[in-house]
């Protein structure tokens, strides 16, 4: 199946964590290890909460509804935040089926 | 032939058989922080009487493993060689960091090269902390305990004016001290300068910034974990295991960033992390 780009993701997308990503939790924040790229990512508490909800079945709009209900915040606000987080995680190559954005060539060492 | 006592430097156990007695005693003094009971040390030869005038070589089984044009540069290269051989992921998960200890709790100072690790480490040892290392903090894979790696401190020319008392004697038979970096054994601070095995209490990420205000700022442990991992030798060889081991360490420490504009102020800020203000 062809990979999607992060920019093409919408509220109907059902995010799943990439198999190459390993996580540890510290004080409610996640540190993600992308073993494929040998890169580390630090998620803030909000992004960590969103990441913990990914199961490959729930769509972004479902996640936003659940989170907004849990936190008592506006659905539209949470949907916008969740969508931004999903696109950013996708752009970093951390979601299954989503191609990482091209990173600038660091050039010769 | 002068045969030194045995040395233990993390994954490297060694002794030196030196064909020049004065140089052998000098190296034994220089590496005294690694002094270890007789054990499984592997004997390397230090040869000054080779074909090339002034050159010094480190040999093992007749093979040259290190060659230097003069005694002074040999000392520097030998310390670097020990660093490289001592750090082995099979032995410990080891971060590029300085380390000092007080009251059984270590302050770990991870940073890239030229960020001022050695200068801050030396300042803290001078102010009363015990010395663990200025280069490599070795965490036990299972317990997270820190094993000291008390190498000679490698003091760059830009910091030497801060520590005039640490100017090391010139190696014997060196026509000139042909390198600019000092190699300072911890015993030059005081006889009991080296600390014991301990656990981490604080992780402080220092960065020297000339003329900047000196400031110690708390950061979250997750951010600290990422920084510590990025400063860990050969992290990618066992990345998942390394991350788990470092996370166990980080969960029980406080993390900070330290901008070092003035060394004495920076040392006072780190001293103040200790509950009794470093006066105990």
CB nearest to B220's CB, from A24, A27, A38:
A27
Q: What per-residue confidence (pLDDT) applies to B171?
A: 87
Q: How far is B190 from chain A (nearest CA, A)?
A: 39
Answer yes or no: do A26 and B222 touch at CB < 8 A.
Answer: yes
Mean pLDDT of B82-109: 97
* pLDDT range class, residue B42, cuts 50, 70, 90: confident
pLDDT of residue B280: 44
- Shortest distance between the Cα of B219 and any Cα of chain A, in A, equals 12
Q: What is the pLDDT of residues B231-277, one digit of tens each?
A: 999 999 999 999 999 999 999 999 999 999 999 999 999 999 998 75
Q: How high is the pLDDT of residue A109? A: 37
CA B25 – CA B27 distance, rounded (Å): 5
pLDDT digits (tens, 9 = 90+) for B221-237: 999 999 999 999 999 99
Q: CB burial class (10 A; 0-12, 13-18, 19+) of residue B121?
A: buried
State the average pLDDT over residues B8-23.
Answer: 95
Concatenate the DSSP letters of all residues of B78-109 into one string. HHHHHHHHH--TTT-EEEEEEEEEETTEEEEE
Cβ atoms of residues B231 and B179 within 8 Å = no
Residue of chain A whose alpha carbon sits nearest to that of B249: A26
A20, A21, A23, A40: best to mutate for the B interface, most B CBs within 10 A: A40
- The sign of the dihedral angle between the CA atoms of B221, B226, B227, B233 is positive
Nearest-CB residue to B225 (from A22, A26, A35): A26
Determine the pLDDT at residue B268. Answer: 97
Dihedral sign from CA coordinates of B61, B63, B69, B74: negative
Interface of A with B (CB under 8 A): 22, 24, 26-27, 29-31, 33, 35, 38, 40-43
Question: How many Å apart are CA B242 and CA A38, to the nearest integer?
Answer: 12
Q: Could you say which of A22, A35, A40 has the minimum Cβ distance to residue B226?
A: A40
Count CA atoms closer than 13 A to A7's CA, side-chain side: 2
pLDDT band at B50 (very low <50, low <70, confident <90, very high): confident
Interface test mutation site (partner B, options A23, A33, A39, max chain B beta carbons within 10 A) = A33
* Angstrom distance (rounded) from CA A72 to CA B268: 46
Complex ipTM, two decimals? Answer: 0.89
pLDDT of residue A102: 83
Token pair for residue B245? 């081991």
Pick from B171, B179, B159: which is nearest to B80 by CA?
A: B179
What is the structure's pLDDT at B221? 98
Q: 0.95 cut: is pTM over it? A: no
The predicted-structure confidence for B172-223, as pLDDT tens digits, reads as follows: 877 655 568 899 999 999 999 999 999 999 999 999 999 899 999 999 999 9
């Amino acid at each position: 199946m062809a990979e999607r780009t992060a920019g093409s993701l919408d509220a109907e997308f059902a995010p799943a964590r990439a198999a190459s990503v390993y996580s540890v939790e510290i004080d409610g924040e996640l540190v993600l290890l992308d073993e494929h790229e040998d890169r580390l990512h630090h998620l803030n508490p909000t992004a960590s909460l969103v990441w913990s909800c990914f199961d490959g079945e729930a769509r972004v709009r479902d996640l936003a509804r659940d989170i907004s209900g849990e936190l008592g915040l506006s659905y539209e606000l949470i949907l916008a935040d969740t969508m931004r987080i999903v696109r950013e995680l996708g752009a970093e190559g951390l979601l299954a089926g989503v191609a990482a954005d091209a990173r600038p060539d660091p050039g010769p060492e | 032939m002068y045969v030194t006592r045995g040395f233990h430097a993390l994954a490297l156990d060694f002794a030196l058989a030196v064909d020049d007695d004065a140089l052998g005693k000098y190296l034994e003094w220089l590496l005294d922080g690694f002094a270890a009971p007789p054990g499984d040390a592997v004997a390397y030869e230090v040869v000054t009487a080779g074909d090339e005038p002034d050159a010094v070589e480190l040999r093992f089984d007749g093979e040259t493993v290190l060659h230097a044009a003069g005694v002074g540069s040999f000392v520097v290269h030998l310390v670097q060689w020990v660093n490289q051989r001592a750090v082995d992921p099979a032995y410990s998960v080891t971060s590029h960091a300085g380390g000092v200890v007080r009251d059984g709790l270590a302050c770990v100072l991870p940073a890239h090269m030229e960020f001022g690790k050695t200068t801050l480490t030396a300042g803290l040892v001078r102010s009363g902390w015990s010395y663990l290392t200025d280069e490599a903090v070795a965490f036990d894979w299972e317990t997270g305990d820190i094993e000291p790696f008390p190498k000679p401190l490698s003091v760059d020319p830009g910091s030497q004016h801060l520590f005039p008392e640490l100017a090391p004697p010139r190696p014997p038979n060196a026509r000139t001290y042909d390198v600019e970096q000092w190699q300072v054994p911890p015993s030059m601070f005081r006889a009991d300068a080296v600390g014991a095995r301990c656990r981490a209490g604080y992780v402080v990420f220092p960065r020297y910034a000339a003329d900047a205000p000196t400031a110690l700022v708390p950061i979250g442990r997750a951010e600290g974990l990422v920084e510590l991992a990025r400063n860990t030798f050969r992290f990618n060889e066992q990345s998942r295991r390394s991350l788990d081991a470092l996370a166990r360490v980080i969960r029980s420490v406080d993390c900070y960033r330290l901008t070092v504009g003035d060394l004495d102020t920076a040392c006072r800020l780190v001293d103040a992390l200790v509950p009794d203000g470093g006066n105990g």
